[in-house]
Amino acid sequence: MGSAELGANIFRIDLTEDLLKKQDEKSESKATKTHYDVGKAIRETIAKLGGTMPEDLPTPKKSIKELKKEGNKPLIK
C-alpha cells in the first residue's frame, strides 16, 4: 500500500468515525449506511481525480502468511 492509498484509507476511517459520533440515531443499519456512503464518496473522488483504484494497485508476490513460513518478519502485525 502506497502513501496515497494509506492516506485515503485513514481519511475514510477518520471521517466515518467522526460522522458516527455525530449521529443522533445509533443503529447498526445507520452505521452500515454511513460506512458505505463515506467509502463510496472516497472511491468517487479517487476516480474523479485520476487516482489508482484500490483494486488496481499491485499486489505483493507473497502473502504475510508465506513470509512468516519462510521465517521473515513482516513489517505489519
Q: 14-35 pLDDT, tens per residue?
A: 999 999 999 888 899 999 999 9
Please count the other Cβ atoms lying within 10 Å of the Cβ belonging to residue 38.
20
Please count the other Cβ atoms lying within 10 Å of the Cβ belonging to residue 31.
15
- Structural domain spans, the chain: 3-69
Considering the entire predicted model, what is its pTM?
Answer: 0.70
pLDDT < 50: residue spans in the chain: none
In the three-class reduction of DSSP (H, G, I as helix; E, B as strand; rest coil), residue 60 is classed as coil
Grid cell at residue 41 = 464518496
pLDDT the model gives residue 76: 60
